[in-house]
Chain A
Amino acid sequence: MIEFHNVYLSFGQKTIFSNFNLKIKKGEKIVFIGKSGCGKSSLFELLLGFKKPEKGNIIFKDKKLDASYIWQVRRQIAYVDQDVSFPNQKVFDFLNFIFSFKANKHLEFEQNRLISVLEKFELDYNIINKDIGELSGGEKQRLGLVIAILLQREIFLLDEVTSSLDKKLKQKVVDYFMSSHNFTVLSISHDPEWLEHPKAQIYNLELKKWVV
């Protein structure tokens, strides 16, 4: 489903990827580890077209990522970032804004579904009346996950999404994403809840090696 083919990426003097290859199949649950600066977030940014490889190709569903295809690719991927970068507005307004995008017009923004997804991650429905700026780090992370789920995409790029959650919630989030057969999950995390999950395949991005 996703392939990195001889990818080369550097920032100034520092080489992040050199001749990097990786294949990810549909339904796989991959946890990326490695110390900071080894390219974990860059991997996601390459896949979303926020960074372009200097050499090599990225293949998504048998097609090469390029300027025209990237817009379709983004519609299939849900990306949640560590300190989710929300604009400062009311949660409800932000949700409406997202669902107003042409790419998301086909989705219905149903209240019942919203309530059930919020509940899944122990968020109160009243959160939608709050300003995003008032939310705690953990609430923001969970809101990011809720949005990712509401968008009904099947590929998840999760960048340290459980870092601000307590143990019980971490487990809940991990179980949710790991248990669905259809989800392809790429998660950057050092939390044991991810690493020790029976379905997790662990990839060390520092060594560019699978951990067996």
Chain B
Amino acid sequence: MGSIDLNLLSLGFVFVLIGIPLALDLIFKFGLTKNILQSVLRMSVQLLLIGIFLRYLFLWNNPWINVSWFLIMVITSVFSVVKNTPLRLKTIFFPLFLAFVLPTFFLVIYLNFLVLHLKHIFDARYFIILAGMLLGNCLRSNIIALSSVYNQIKSYPKKYLYLLSLGASTYEAILPYLTESVGLAVKPFLATMATMGIVALPGMMTGVILGGASPEIAVKYQIMIMFAILSNGLLAVVLGILFTLKSCFDDFGCLKNQVFKS
């Protein structure tokens, strides 16, 4: 059972929907027209391109190409994290790259091999799609966690330095910050998990059901993806903070000033 394809006329009707926010904006003057049109355009072009791209990715289904694309996705995520945190690209690129690649790669292979029993564990349909879902979450969690840790130490240096004076190593002194930032990063996701199915039907499940699968299969996939996202997100946040310590703190255990964007 496949999903119903949308022909041009159907797509036209989809775009008519954009008329609703635009009309509301016209009446109430939210000042969002430019924003809405920009986002609509960006999303449509990006999705169109990725649609074409995925089509070929699935068609070739070459492990090397798939892994290369995976690495490009990781690099893009790392750039996005850097853009949204106060830290410099040069300082944290490599540590974050590792913090993203290691857990995501491991988890996707784990799912493909042990859970989905794929013959080809790099099968684009699973490898790329699952990695994308995991990375999206890594990205959000790491932005929250890294910003929290480094902004706090920068704003209240004495709190951190006091711990060093009490005998803490850099790693020991960072632990309270790690605890707090992990909480900040993971709690929203845990809340989503706890209300899942009652408050909202998650995107992936909706997709699988619309794609023609039975709700039971959709539920199993959803559970799989949620557990993977949770593990991957936590692991990537912890590794992200631990891996950046070396480049962000000097040998005296003090936060380097030049790690921040000027």
Contacts and interface: CB of A to CB of B under 8 A. Distances in A.
A98 B167 contact: yes
A151 B250 CA distance: 25
B224 to A, nearest CB: 37
A84 B166 CA distance: 12
A14 interface: no
Interface residues of A, number: 29
Given A84-B162, A85-B162, A74 B250 contact: no
A84 B167 CA distance: 16
A48 B182 CA distance: 30
Interface string A92-104: 0000011011111
Contacts, number: 64
B26 to A, nearest CB: 49
A48 B252 CA distance: 9
Contacts of A103: 167-169
Interface in B149-193: 156, 158-159, 161-169, 172, 175-176
B5 interface: no
Interface string A133-160: 0000000000000010001000000000
B201 interface: no
A67 B250 contact: yes
A77 B163 CA distance: 12
Contacts of B175: 97
A63 to B, nearest CB: 15
B179 to A, nearest CB: 10
A98 B165 CA distance: 10
Interface residues of B, number: 20
Given A67-B251, A70-B252, A102-B172, A85 B156 contact: yes
A68 interface: yes
Contacts of A193: none
A176 interface: no
A61 interface: no
A206 interface: no
B159 A85 contact: yes
A75 B164 CA distance: 9
B163 to A, nearest CB: 8
A129 to B, nearest CB: 19
Interface of A: 45, 48-50, 52, 67-68, 70-71, 74-75, 77-79, 81, 84-87, 89, 97-98, 100-104, 147, 151
16 contacts: A45-B161, A48-B164, A49-B253, A50-B161, A68-B251, A75-B167, A78-B165, A79-B165, A81-B158, A85-B159, A87-B159, A98-B166, A101-B166, A101-B172, A103-B168, A104-B167
Interface of B: 156, 158-159, 161-169, 172, 175-176, 250-254
Given A81-B158, A97-B176, 14 more contacts: A49-B252, A50-B161, A50-B164, A52-B252, A71-B169, A74-B165, A75-B167, A81-B162, A85-B156, A85-B161, A87-B159, A101-B166, A101-B167, A103-B167
